[in-house]
Amino acid sequence: MTDPKDALALHTAMTRIRRFEERCVELYSAGDIRGFMHLCIGEEAVAVGVTAALGADDAVVSTYREHGHALARGIPMEALFAEMFGRTTGCSGGRGGSMHLFDAARRFYGGNAIVAGGIPLAVGLALADSYTARPQVTACLFGDGAFAEGEFHESLNLAALWGLPVVLCCENNRYAMGTSLARSHAQTDLALRAASYGVRSWAVDGMDAPAVRDAVRLAVDTARAGGGPCFLELRTYRFRAHSMYDADRYRERSEIAGWQEHDPLGALVADLDPDDVAAAEAAIAEEIDAAVAAAQAAPREPVADLTRHVLAER
Ligand SMILES: Cc1ncc(C[n+]2csc(CCOP(=O)(O)OP(=O)(O)O)c2C)c(N)n1
């Protein structure tokens, strides 16, 4: 059993992510948010568990399913909503939108639309840290679809060869967009495959926030102590479709319902005082209302500025 205070903190952090995304769905349906949007509902334990195991100076490299990672890393909700609305107060100046959240001050290096695209970036950050003998670790989050990309395998090989301080966190939700892992990979044990590169690898219940945090802590401690990279297969499930445009016809409803019985929010609730949960929900609702109002009132970029940041400014 998790300590009740700890369980409440984890539960509140996951609830905050879920309510944030539920509001994003409403805003998207109303046409206030545009472009592509990928939700992490069902996968909140990964976001909260991974970030809770990192220090403020460690780096995070994320994927296009990154709202939860960004919130859990401490990017203010208002800056995230503003980014969704394309406002200048957004964390990427309103130019990135849902898929390109970025915050250098919090060492949050995106938000990357390219499958596996963040992995060489993470290995590069870890190489820089190792080269200059800094004690930081880089955590990289990506989906199981990354296993189909050459850059994943090249990056893993170099990270192992050079003993780099990087923790590779694979959110294995069993599907790469609409294709199940079993239809495209002969070996679906991802931890086993990563281990073949000489990287310490293990599988974790990705619906269990304390278990994710404990496993990532062990991996981070190993990497920081000079033990080289670690790979974690975080076995999870997204309750929603791949993106807002996906009709989700590739999964049985019964499969989704089965995973919803292991909802990461529900897993902790038994240890909690219902009054504490209700108070946290009320505070989150207030935070969301205020953040949306402030973000919607924020300015858009003037047309005259549109060519800024295209080339480096001197
Ligand atoms: C290099 C590259 N190839 C193809 C795509 C198109 N694409 C977008 S998402 C996706 C599947 C990704 O799988 P995974 O990361 O496991 O995603 P999830 O199950 O969370 O949707 C693909 C092939 C892309 N974005 N980048």
Each residue's pLDDT tens digit, 25-52: 999 999 999 999 999 999 999 999 999 9
- Please give the single-letter amino acid code of residue 273: D
Q: What is the mean pLDDT of the chain?
A: 96
Confidence of residue 1 (pLDDT cuts 50, 70, 90): low
Burial class (CB in 10 A: 0-12, 13-18, 19+), 149: middle
CA dihedral 165, 167, 168, 172 (to 10 degrees): 170
Q: Are 194 and 232 in contact (CB under 8 A)?
A: no
The ligand 1 atom at the shortest distance from the C-alpha of residue 174 is: 19
Residue 115 CA to ligand 1 centre (angstroms): 5
Confidence of residue 313 (pLDDT cuts 50, 70, 90): confident
Task: Determine what percent of the chain is predicted with pLDDT higher than 90.
Answer: 95
Q: Find out whether the beta carbon of 114 lies less than 6 Å from any atom of ligand 1.
A: yes
Confidence of residue 210 (pLDDT cuts 50, 70, 90): very high
**Region label for 82, one of left (φ > 0), alpha (ψ between -120 and 50) or beta (otherwise):** alpha
CA-derived radius of gyration, the chain: 19
Give the mutation target among 44, 62, 177 for probing the ligand 1 site: most ligand atoms within 8 A of CB. 177
Confidence of residue 314 (pLDDT cuts 50, 70, 90): confident
Helix or strand holding residue 286 (H, E): helix 274-297
Residue 233 predicted with pLDDT over 90: yes
Query: What is the 8-class DSSP label of residue 65?
Result: S
Q: Find out whether the beta carbon of 102 lies less than 6 Å from any atom of ligand 1.
A: no
Each residue's pLDDT tens digit, 116-159: 999 999 999 999 999 999 999 999 999 999 999 999 999 999 99
Each residue's pLDDT tens digit, 255-269: 999 999 999 999 999
Query: What is the 8-class DSSP label of residue 204?
Result: E
Q: Find out whether the beta carbon of 129 lies less than 6 Å from any atom of ligand 1.
A: no
Mean pLDDT of 77-83: 98
Residues of 24-59 as b/e, b for ≥16 C-beta within 10 angstroms?
Answer: beebbeeeebeeebbbbbbbbbbbbbbbbbbeeebb
Q: Find out whether the beta carbon of 175 lies less than 6 Å from any atom of ligand 1.
A: yes
Residue 71 predicted with pLDDT over 90: yes
Mean pLDDT of 4-15: 95
Least confident of 253-257, 303-307, 310-314: 310-314
Distance CA 281, CA 93 (A): 29
Q: Find out whether the beta carbon of 192 lies less than 6 Å from any atom of ligand 1.
A: no
Q: Find out whether the beta carbon of 246 lies less than 6 Å from any atom of ligand 1.
A: no
Q: Are 33 and 27 in contact (CB under 8 A)?
A: yes
The residue contributing the CA closest to ligand 1 atom 10 is 177
Residue in 76, 89, 68 with CA at minimum distance from that of residue 24: 68
CA dihedral 246, 32, 101, 286 (to 10 degrees): -110
Task: Determine what percent of the chain is predicted with pLDDT higher than 70.
Answer: 100
The ligand 1 atom at the shortest distance from the C-alpha of residue 173 is: 19
Alpha-carbon 99 to chain mean position: 11
